[in-house]
Amino acid sequence: METVTSAGNASGTPQDFATNTGEIMVEKGNPKNIKTVSDLANPAIKVVVCAPAVPCGAVATAIFKNAGVTVKPVSEEQNVGGVVTKVTLGEADAGIVYVTDVKANEGKATGVAIPADQNDTTEYPIAELKAAPNPSAAAAFISYVLGTQGQQVLASFGFQPPK
C-alpha cells in the first residue's frame, strides 16, 4: 500500500480491512511436542522461517525478539508458502507462518498458538485506485470487504478484524 500511496495513486485514505498474527506450524499431530516459541531455540528442532526482508520473516523476527529467544533456522524461505511446504512435507519440524496458513493446511499441519505478548500482527489495508476503471464497483467491493458479510468471510479463513 505504501507504493500506491507514495505514488499518489490511492483515492482517499487506505483503511485496514483485516489483521493476521503469527502461529507456529508443526507437523500434523505435533510429534516433537512443541508448545512454545522458546521450544524453537532447541537446536534439535529443525525450524524454517521466511527471510527477514519479506513480511512473514519480519513477523518471525519480531516474535523471536518478543519471546527473548535466539532461533537458528535451517532455512529462510522467500515466502510463507515455502515455509508451509517444508513443514507439511516433513522437511522441517516447525515454522513461523500466519494463523491463516495453519487454517488453510489443517489436514496436513497443526498450529501452536503464540501468546499475544510474544506475537506480531500484520495489517492489511485497502484503498480505491484513482485510475480504477470502474470506481463504483471498486467502492462497492471495499464496502463489502469492510462490512459484516466481508468480515465474516475473512474470519472463516482465520483473519481477525482490523484494530
Section 28-33 average pLDDT: 96
Task: Give the residue numbers spanning the domain of 76.
Answer: 18-121
61, three cell numbers: 523476527
CATH number of the domain enclosing 84: 3.40.190.10
In a domain, 130, yes or no: no
Task: Tell me the mean pLDDT in the region 103-131.
Answer: 96
Task: Provide the whole-model pTM.
Answer: 0.91
Mean pLDDT of 48-66: 97
Identify the pLDDT of residue 163.
87
Q: Is residue 99 part of a domain?
A: yes
Would you state the pLDDT for residue 160?
97
> End-to-end distance of the chain based on CA atoms, in angstroms?
17
Number of structural domains the chain divides into: 1
Answer yes or no: is 65 within a domain: yes
pLDDT the model gives residue 12: 87
Q: Is residue 102 part of a domain?
A: yes
For residue 161, being part of any structural domain is answered with no
Q: How far is CA 59 from CA 7, 51, 98, in A?
A: 26, 10, 9
Looking up cell 491463516 gives 100
User: d(Cα 19, Cα 39) in Å, to the nearest integer?
Assistant: 26
Answer for the pair 124, 43: CB distance below 8 angstroms, yes or no: no
